[in-house]
């Protein structure tokens, strides 16, 4: 009798995990077709290209902020000059290390 309860609980657990897994796989399929999924590096590159010649703040994956004038955007890197606090310096940053591009709102 005890083994029946254990076996029944195991079967019930297996059935629930299979049902839960099926639900997850359906939601994953639906998420893959979502238009909201974007190419991160491409989106960052586009945002930086819109800021060419303007000042922008880059939030890096490491958590560090880097603010300056965007002077060049390549396939894999962005060049920033006139860094805030280090005006005579520039930087070249890999696009995959940029988490966000922060710009002044209002076109100023």
Rounded Cα–Cα distance for residues 94 and 41 (Å): 10
Residue-level pLDDT at 70: 98
Question: Mean pLDDT for each consecutive 10-residue tract of the chain (108 residues)?
Answer: 51 52 44 47 88 97 96 97 94 96 78
Burial 28-42 (b: 16+ CB within 10 A, else e): eeeeeeeeeeeeeee
- pTM, 2 dp: 0.59
Architecture field, domain 40-102: Roll (2.30)
Contact yes or no for 58/67 (Cβ under 8 A): yes
Indicate the domain borders of the chain.
1-37, 40-102
Say whether 62 sits in a helix, a strand or coil: coil
């Amino acid at each position: 009798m005890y083994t029946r309860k254990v076996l029944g609980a195991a079967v019930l657990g297996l059935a629930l995990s299979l049902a839960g897994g099926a639900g997850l796989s359906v939601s994953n399929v639906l998420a893959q077709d979502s238009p909201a999924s974007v190419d991160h590096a491409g989106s960052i590159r586009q945002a930086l290209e819109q800021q060419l010649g303007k000042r922008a703040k880059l939030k890096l994956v490491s958590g560090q902020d880097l603010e300056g004038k965007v002077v060049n955007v390549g396939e894999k890197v962005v060049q920033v000059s006139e860094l805030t606090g280090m005006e005579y310096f520039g930087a070249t940053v890999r696009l995959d290390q940029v988490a966000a591009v922060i710009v002044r709102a209002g076109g100023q």
